[in-house]
A and B are shown apart, each in its own frame.
Chain A
Amino acid sequence: MSKVDALPARSAIEMHPAILIGLLFAAAAALTFRHLSGYLPVSAWLPVLWRPEINDPQQMLVHYTVFPRIAVALLAGAALGLAGAVCQQVLRNPLAEPTTLGVSNGAYLALAVTTLWAPSLLALGREWIALVGGFAAFLCVFGLTWKRALSPVVLVLAGLIVGYYCAVTTQALVLLNHDYLIGLFIWGAGYLNQQDWSNAAFLAPRFLISFVLIAAMVRPLTLLGFDDETARNLGLGLTGARVCALGVAIALSASVVSVVGVLGFVGLTGPALAMLAGARRFRDRLIWAPLCGAGLLWLADELVLLIPPGYREMPAGAATALIGAPMLLVLLPRLRSAAPVGNLTPSVPPRLDHPWRVILFGLALLLFVVWVALAVGVGAEGWSWSGLAGIQEFLPWRWPRVVSALAAGATLAVAGTLLQRMTGNPMAAPEVMGISYGAAMGVIVLLYLFPSHTRVAQIAGGGIGAFIVLGLVLLFSRRSEFSPERVLLAGVAMSAAFAAIVAMALATGDPRIGMLLSLLTGSLYQISPTEASVFAAAAALLLIMVPMLSRWLDILPLGSAASRSVGVSMARSRIVIMLLTALLTATATLMVGLLSLVGFIAPHMARMMGAQRALHQTALAALIGAILMVTADWAGRMVIFPFQMPAGIFAMMLAGPYLLWLLRPQCG
């Protein structure tokens, strides 16, 4: 990202951000004009905005609901755009946004906990609870990375982990209490309805103050975009600058989240669109990114209002993602950068002396875990340890789960390793490519179109969804020889769009929420013996192909110049790796839902344990993934018996602390 600043690339048609933003605002204004004329004659608008007739219900309605809604859309959009631009600059990652640092997830968790345990606190205002939650999450991230001078990579990793952790905890609460939390889902979907000016009045000063503060920090922020060495040589106190900039961005986005719910996509897209439309210097983005965010959210919300009343209303969060994702995809070919995002790899841990010994030990551990998962269970009479004879009774229920947990864990871990090695971006994970969301989307569409359907249809729906997304991602990154950052950005655009749709589905309060949740959180409940065998066979076939790619995987992280010089074709190697990753991810998602946390965690764990060669890292990651998933599934069945906790949730609970421990500051 920083390199994009330094080396402005010229495209055939010069584009100015004002064109794009002008288009956004023109469209939104036209829709607003149409919408407002439905209420009042044009001549009455200004008087009603300032002083409505108290006895005229129509005027009161426009004054207290229509105008504030527009104001909040503009302010929230601008605020998220600004926060996103700052985060991307400080973290040097085009995929970063305030959500990356755990803010929305922290706010969501705080609200869930309050709704369940202390609902009377809600009367104080959701804003404050969400604000506290968002900040608490971010403080955790800060605390974890403080000793490393808040290095961008570690910040991103810690933010992702804390964010995931909050999300997973929320999911666990939601799964057991979703009947109580419909209100939370409605909030989380990001509706912009207003009933007075208080939210606008809440946001406006915060946005202005943040903007002024950030504007005062333009020079240090521009320097932060270079690598640490350069910045320090130019006389910048890195930690101080980062704390100030991120602190402002986080406070701002936490305020937005607290008022309008989760609109994460704006924070990602606003700055990205501004940059793709030609705002290459940070100084420029500082102006254009907020404008872009504001235009995007305003347009999205006006489009929502176009849907005739009486139909289900769509939350602005989903609408933004639906509009923003295609725009991002269309503009992607304009993204040019000289260096891979991937100079980001955190400090390399000492290399393992005997990787194969560690791998053999992992294999033994996996066998032990599998045996425990098959033999130990809780029944109506308490714990039981089945011998070889007793195991027969439970085997039909247990083996499909164990086998699919094993296959899914290994598959996701390998997919994650491939992606991280190919892209050199530590944020890369199967989920980030959007493929798992594609599969989940397929299933959700099926769920809502055909209330009763078979498992086969469900699997087919998931498969089709996964491949549509894969096709789109490949299509849009084709021109760039499938360059990693473009693939990732395309994938993130997809994921964000789908995440917003899922949030919308949750907000409908449909009774099938339970099923949707178990799908999303990675439950192995639905797997039948036949399915388990088919999936395991497919996973095994795909996994066998990985060692054949190990040369590419060793070379690709060295960068494209190095790769070309030893005769590796970038386009071909990338498309092969990506296809394989997509197939692996689709297989895993169909088995266990959106379980990609393992795909993110396992490769990191393997790398941090010191596996450097591609083959070693892949094998170790696969073992870690499998062990994690089998253990998580088993524990999930035992801990709250007869209830069950999806393996995805449990895997995160098991692995998260270990990953954080690995991130700890190392002495010497």
Chain B
Amino acid sequence: MSKNSLSDYRLSRRALLTVGAGIGGGVLAGGWPMALAQAAAPQGGPRIAALGWACAQTILALGVVPLVVPEIERYSRLVVEPAVPSSVQEIGLRSEPNLELLQSFAPDIIIIDPSITAAIPRLRLIAPVEVFTIFRPGRPPLETAHSSTMELAQRLGVQAACEAYLARFDAAMTGYRDQLRGRNDKPLYLVSEIARNRALVFGPNSLYQEVLSQFGLKNAWTGQSGPWGHTSVGLEVLAAVPDARLVLMSSRVADIEALLNASPVLRTLPFLRSGRLTVLGNQFFYGGVPAAERFARLLAERLPQENNEQG
């Protein structure tokens, strides 16, 4: 990641946060609704409201443009792709999409992530509701995402696009596997956040595990990883696999690198001592097929040749 894009990221995040800061002052009340005044361009298909990031991401990947998506600003920082077209309207928080506004858009169908199932009875007053699920206990998330995507496509009447998309995905994955072949067989720690003394690490039941297995790569974290595929562990635990590489699933590299460098002992962690650190940028770890594709592509791009290393 270049320095330039990093600072861009900072700048716009600051802008976003200024919005957050405006709460106290209430300065924004007048401004926003004006910007929202133009309704989304109607398409041929049904008018779809996507009230979660996982479903919004998959719907966009299928080539369908929803009317509304929650927290668009943060989506573009954290989920990144597929990008939300500018015609899509903001609908509020993922946990509390704005019902009055939703009603005024008169959607034909509402797609939600499982986290707001409690709101279904009231959403039904506006339009029929479909739940898009990725994490089911005991099933690999990518497999569930695959079948959920097909069900969703059927409900939206875009089966052909879905089949084409999934075929493209499989082809891309084969391509990435060839790209990675023989490149790196050292185990990887997938880490998205490092707080002072702990890290959030992805484990066997995460979306990424399946991508790693398809590529013949090993996850260095083999312990438990909770229903959502991640867990927080003490940094000292990461020393347990000495030849591992650290894959950072976050764009906030500068802070994390500085944090790691600040502590002399953290620098003795094997992957840091020998510079085995790969930065993938932000990943949406509750996402579906598109999130897996983004992870696989960036991994194929950025995982270096093992023989280039000093290790």
Question: Which A positions have Cβ atoms within 8 angstroms of B?
Answer: 57, 61, 64-65, 116-117, 119-120, 122-126, 169, 172-173, 175-177, 179, 182-184, 186-187, 191, 193-196, 198, 309-313, 377-383, 393-394, 396-398, 451-455, 458, 507-512, 514-515, 517-518, 523, 525-526, 528, 635, 638-645, 653
Contacts and interface: CB of A to CB of B under 8 A. Distances in A.
A508 B230 CA distance: 8
Q: Which of A124, A394, A515 has the most CB of B within 10 A?
A: A515
Q: Which of B19, B233, B242 has the most CB of A within 10 A?
A: B233
B236 A523 contact: no
B143 interface: no
B255 A122 contact: yes
B266 A640 contact: no
Interface of B: 13-14, 17, 19-20, 22-24, 26, 28-30, 32-34, 36-37, 39, 74, 78, 89-96, 98-101, 103-105, 113-119, 121-122, 125, 192-198, 200, 223-224, 226-228, 230-236, 239, 242, 252, 254-255, 258-259, 261-266, 286
Nearest to B261: A123
B259 A123 contact: yes
Contacts of B28: 639-641
A116 B17 contact: yes
Contacts of B114: 451-452
Contacts of B100: 377, 379, 394, 397-398
B78 A179 contact: yes
Contacts of B13: 116
A505 B187 CA distance: 29
A116 to B, nearest CB: 5
Contacts of B196: 126, 187
B160 to A, nearest CB: 31
B15 to A, nearest CB: 11
Those 8 A-B pairs whose CB atoms lie nearest each other, nearest first: A514-B95, A123-B258, A193-B234, A196-B265, A183-B195, A642-B98, A186-B195, A119-B255
Nearest to B91: A642
A605 B255 CA distance: 44
Contacts of A65: 234, 236
Given A381-B33, A515-B115, A515-B118, 16 more contacts: A120-B258, A123-B259, A176-B19, A176-B93, A184-B195, A193-B198, A195-B266, A380-B104, A382-B37, A453-B117, A455-B121, A518-B96, A638-B29, A642-B32, A644-B96, A644-B98
A531 to B, nearest CB: 10
A644 B258 CA distance: 35
Given A526-B118, A639-B29, A312 B224 contact: yes
Contacts of A313: 231-234
Given A184-B195, A452-B117, A309 B200 contact: no
A382 B29 CA distance: 9
Contact of B20 (A177, A518, A525): A177
Contacts of B36: 380, 642
Contact of B224 (A310, A514, A526, A642): A310
A173 B22 CA distance: 11
Nearest to A261: B196
A510 B101 CA distance: 27
Given A61-B239, A182-B200, A510 B228 contact: yes
A327 B100 CA distance: 49
Given A117-B14, A120-B258, A511 B286 contact: yes
Nearest to A308: B224
Contacts of B259: 122-123
Contacts of A517: 95
A348 to B, nearest CB: 33
A179 B236 contact: no
Nearest to B194: A183
B262 A172 contact: no
B39 A380 contact: yes
Contact of B23 (A193, A525, A639): A639
A123 B95 CA distance: 32
Contact of B118 (A194, A380, A458, A508): A458
Contacts of B223: 309-310
16 contacts: A116-B17, A117-B17, A172-B23, A195-B263, A196-B264, A312-B231, A379-B104, A380-B101, A381-B33, A508-B232, A525-B119, A526-B118, A638-B29, A639-B22, A639-B23, A642-B36
Contacts of A196: 263-265
A379 B33 contact: yes
A172 B99 contact: no
A578 to B, nearest CB: 31
Nearest to B262: A123
Nearest to A65: B236
B92 A642 contact: yes
A514 B232 CA distance: 19
Given A65-B236, A313-B232, A377-B100, A186 B264 contact: no
Contacts of B195: 182-184, 186-187
B84 to A, nearest CB: 15
A347 B198 CA distance: 48
Contact of A397 (B23, B78, B103, B255): B103
Q: Which of A182, A184, A377 has the most CB of B within 10 A?
A: A182
Contact of A455 (B30, B118, B230, B286): B118
Contact of A514 (B115, B200, B239): B115
Contact of B17 (A64, A177, A641): A177
B232 A509 contact: yes
Contacts of B39: 380
B101 A642 contact: yes
